[in-house]
């Protein structure tokens, strides 16, 4: 379960499953970001007895679903069920906008677009 999302991190709480009588050496956290359908590793930590992990380096104002994989001397576990989708909080941009463009879209509105690094 993903709890307390902030601008760039979230706490992931879980109940470890059977470890195969071998010490867990690493936890791997995978994420689906936004509308993607591809799981990718976003965090890992060596904490054998963990029941919660603070997942850092997430992007602000993005939707995520996370899952956990345990790793030991034998290999990796099957991924956990995915968390419910959550959204990190908004944050100020890290740099000023680039390539600012303004185009009229009607007699009373303007469409402004820009790029960020």
d(CA 117, CA 95): 7
Q: What is the pLDDT of residues 46-90, one digit of tens each?
A: 998 899 999 999 999 999 999 999 999 989 999 999 999 999 999
Tokens of 73: 């001397």
Domain membership flag for residue 23 = yes
CATH code of 8's domain: 2.60.40.10
Residue 43 lies in a domain: yes
Q: CA distances (Å), 81 to each of 2, 38, 47, 72, 78, in order?
A: 12, 15, 20, 19, 9
Instruction: Supply the range of the domain harboring residue 17.
Output: 2-92
Residue with token string 């104002």: 61
- pTM: predicted TM-score of the whole model, two decimal places: 0.79
pLDDT higher than threshold 80 for residue 18: no
What's the total number of domains in the chain?
1
Contact indicator for 28, 68 with CB cutoff of 8 Å: yes
Judge whether 108 lies within some domain: no
C-alpha 39/C-alpha 80 separation (Å) is 12
């Amino acid at each position: 379960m993903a709890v307390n999302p902030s601008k760039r991190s979230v706490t992931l709480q879980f109940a470890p499953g059977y470890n195969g009588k071998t010490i867990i050496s690493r936890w791997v956290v995978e994420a689906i970001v936004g509308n993607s359908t591809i799981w990718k590793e976003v965090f890992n930590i060596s904490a054998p007895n963990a029941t919660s992990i603070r997942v850092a380096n997430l992007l602000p104002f993005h939707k995520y679903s996370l899952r956990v994989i345990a790793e030991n001397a034998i290999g990796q576990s099957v991924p956990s069920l995915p968390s419910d989708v959550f959204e990190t909080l908004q944050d100020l941009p890290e740099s000023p906008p680039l390539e600012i463009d303004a185009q009229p879209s009607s007699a009373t509105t303007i469409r402004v677009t820009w790029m960020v690094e």
